[in-house]
Structure 1
Amino acid sequence: MFDLIQVALTNRSALLATLHAENSDCYRLFHGVNEGRPGLTVDRYGPQLLIQTFHESISEAQAAAIHTQVEAFLGCALTCVYNDRSSANSRRSDDFRVDNWEGEARELGVRYRVKGKHEGQDPLLFLDMRAGRRWIQQHAAGKSVLNLFSYTCGVGVVAAVAGASRVLNVDFSTRSLDIGRQNAELNDLKASQISFFQSDFFTAAKQLAGIPIKQRVGRGRKPKPFPKIGEEKFDLVFLDPPRWAKSAFGTVDLIRDYPSVLKPALLATKPGGQLVCANNVASVSYAEWLDTVQRCAEKAGCPVKSITRLEPETDFPSPDGQFPLKLVVLQL
């Protein structure tokens, strides 16, 4: 295991030099699924080293040894967190634990809050989405931006820092949006530059797109209320849904029904605008998913003029080019 990690570290030397020059100190140091140890990941988030296991746990002594190995390679001291997620549903074995440690990481000069043990399961910033955030940083200036399934609002924050005219982040989780607000504060963003809307995806996206809202209501039950927002179209929309989620207003299912989330996102994009959309399910092929995306766009009356594929950067190697995260920019 340690020899494999050393090879991975050495292979990243040029990338890390580039990232450090771009004022980035968060990246993946070991991507086990394609570097010889499936289920083991080692990530740096600024002052924190995050080790995670998804198939087979490692000992505290092994985690400490990885910590020492990485510190020696990087030449800096890091606070180490080990999250064993090898149990059912990839939940932390100590998911009850929340600590007081917080840190700050930078990516492309943008500052983000990081925390190893918090109330959720996942890191507060998904590193494989750097390619998407990089593209947003390069294209958001002067544009209105809608960030759907915003999580901790990394995309929205980088858009606002890049000079977007308006940024709206939408997510159901109040806790995630609170982290997003902290990220905005870290970057000295004002309320006039970035806003946050706590809502079910379907009610928010459909209202913005001008689509009637339907919900499943049981016998004898009243329809559930939802927060109201006016119809609005955006120059640039970012859509990064989870694999599966269900509410009274609809079901997110990236395997069987991607159009259910794609259609309202398309209709919330201005004609001539751009929609960045993602699918992170490894079992869905890029070609199959892209065909679904194009057919949905045609059916929705939003034909795609051109498609740009964005691939995860080289700290997420894939020998066959079949990345679990599929990410494209649709020019409408």
Structure 2
Amino acid sequence: MSLQSSLTHAINQRAEFFKQAALQQTDCFRVFHGTVEGENGLNIDRYGNAWLIQTFHQTLTEQQLTQITEILNAHLELPIIYNDRAKRNSRIENNLADDFNDFACSEQVIQENGIKFTSKLRHEGQDPLLFLDMRIGREYVRANSQGKTVLNLFSYTCGIGTAAAIGGATRAVNVDFSSFALAAGKKNAELNEVADTCEFIQSDAFPALRQLAGLKVGGRRGQKLPKYPKLAATQFDLVFLDPPRFAKSPFGTVDLINDYQGLFKPAMLTTKSGGTIVCCNNVAKVERQAWLNSLVRCVEKQGRSVSSIEWLHCHEDFPSFDDNHPLKVVALTID
């Protein structure tokens, strides 16, 4: 199937989804999920008043970009931002015309289920300021935060924390190492008038999490530990754990394939008895049942038990092969 045909088919398949999104005050979603829908490494999203095209493997030809533009404009005429990330560790390569560049680099406001989020399609980082496939996580947290305390780890721009505050949380603590991401998170809280509920801690996740869990802060062998914010041991009603695939710091190594438990154990210890921890793993080759089994074993080794398990599945704008999406999200209630 040609690119034109694949994109047209994807848009037609989403006709009912587009209607529901409008009714639910949502103007940010995936329009074309290339890996599954016929063009590996090509994603097309709507972010508010713009279409965002991203390529991760192969740069689009002028002809392909023209074809995509015509199809998108026939559906809804919006500015089209093309971020080519096919080279150099996913950094954006291509230049835009001046008017589109000004638009891409300026702050916009998008909506998801009526929640407002700041958006900037080109900025000092690599990714858009809201990960659209995590919509199901934000919906779950919003629906399950009334009267609860919430800890949002690896918070990025604090979409989970914002959703928790809107859902009635009494306290939403966001932890991330990036001052840029937390600044966007503060903007999100302000946009939705929940700044009084949200807290923002700029810290490496390891020392923050270990202190909250009441554990000693250590580091990788031979590494001198930098300064970090001092935190008191605290347990939360709901903990959201969404780490990157792999990252190293003086305090430890994030490795979702070989050592998810290194983060899960202290995160579980910060979860109150009867509370919920939501775990995310975005590595495709990690098998979901084996991963879940390892989490349950870790809970049991601490003398606790899992009383309920709920899988959260991505929405239909993120189709997957055989309903086995690379992003796995599971909510565990722990006694």
TM-score by length of 2: 0.93
Is the 2:105–2:121 Cα contact (8 Å) retained in structure 1? Answer: no
Structure 1 unmatched runs, 5+: none
Range with bigger deviation, 301-310 or 146-155: 301-310
User: How big is the alpha-carbon RMSD for the aligned residues of Structure 1 and Structure 2?
Assistant: 1.8
Cα deviations by residue, 1:281-331 (Å, 9 ceiling, x for unpaired): 011111121111111111233321111000100001113111110000001
Deviations 1:197-226 (A, max 9, x none): 0001010011111111112363xx854221
Partners of 2:328 and 2:43 lie apart in 1 by 20
Aligned position for 1:214: 218
Matched-pair contact (CA < 8 Å) for 2:54–2:84: yes
- Aligned amino acid, residue 295 of structure 1: R
Cα contact 2:236–2:275 (8 A) shared by 1? yes
Contact 1:25 1:107 in 2 (8 A): yes
Deviation at 1:70, TM superposition (A): 1.6
Compared with structure 1, are the counterparts of its residues 250 and 78 closer, same or farther at alpha carbon in structure 2 (3 Å cutoff)? Answer: same
Identify the residue that residue 91 of structure 1 maps to in structure 2. 91
Change (3 A) 1:65 1:328: same
Runs of 4+ in 1 over 3 A off after TM superposition: 97-100
- TM-superposed CA distance for 1:62, in Å, is 2.9
Cα separation, 1, equivalents of 2:321 and 2:141 = 26
Give the distance between the partners of 2:240 and 2:170, measured in 1 at CA: 15
Deviations 1:220-269 (A, max 9, x none): x8542211011110000100000011111111000000000101110011
Q: 2:15 and 2:90 mapped to 1: Cα distance? A: 30
- The structure 1 residue matched to 2:110, chosen from 101, 105, 108, is 105
Does the aligned pair in 2 maintain the 1:131–1:313 contact within 8 Å?
A: yes
Note the C-alpha offset of 1:44.
Answer: 0.4
Identity of aligned residues (%): 48
- Between the aligned partners of 1:222 and 1:79, the Cα distance in structure 2 is 48
Q: 1:121 to 1:32 in 2, by over 3 A?
A: same
* One-letter identity of the residue aligned with 1:92: I
Counterpart for residue 28 of structure 1:
30
Query: Number of paired residues?
Result: 327
Question: What CA distance in whole angstroms lies between the structure 2 residues aligned with 1:80 and 1:50?
Answer: 6
Provide the C-alpha distance between the structure 1 equivalents of 2:230 and 2:128, rounded to a whole number of angstroms. 30
Structure 2 counterpart SS, 1:82? strand
The answer to whether the 8 Å contact 1:167/1:195 transfers is: yes
Q: Which amino acid aligns with 2:160?
A: V
- Structure 2, unaligned stretches of length 5 or more? 96-100
Q: What secondary structure, in the 3-state scheme, does the structure 2 residue paired with 1:131 have?
A: helix
1:120 match: 125
Q: Deviations 1:170-194 (Å, cap 9, x if unpaired)?
A: 001111001101111111223x311
Q: TM-score, normalised by structure 1?
A: 0.94
Of 10, 13, 17, the match for 1:11? 13
Residue type of the alignment partner of 1:124: L
1:9 Cα deviation (Å)? 0.3
Shift of 1:18: 1.1
The question of whether the paired residues in 2 share the 8 Å contact of 1:48 and 1:103 is answered with no
Q: Does the 8 Å CA contact 2:225/2:251 hold for their aligned counterparts?
A: no
1:21-48 Cα shifts (integer Å, max 9, x gaps) = 1110100000011111111110001112
User: Aligned with 1:245: secondary structure?
Assistant: strand
The answer to whether the aligner puts 1:136 opposite 2:138 as a matched pair is no
Does 1:182 find its partner at 2:216? Answer: no
Distance 1:249 1:176 in 2: 20
- Shift of residue 88 of structure 1? 4.3
Distance in 1, matches of 2:234 and 2:128, equals 31
- 8 Å CA contact 1:266, 1:302 repeated in 2: no
C-alpha separation in 1, matches of 2:241 and 2:258: 17
Query: Equivalent residues in 2 for 1:65-80 (5 A)?
Result: 65-73=67-75, 75=76, 77-80=77-80
Further displaced range: 13-22 or 171-180: 13-22
Q: Does 1:82 align with 2:82?
A: yes
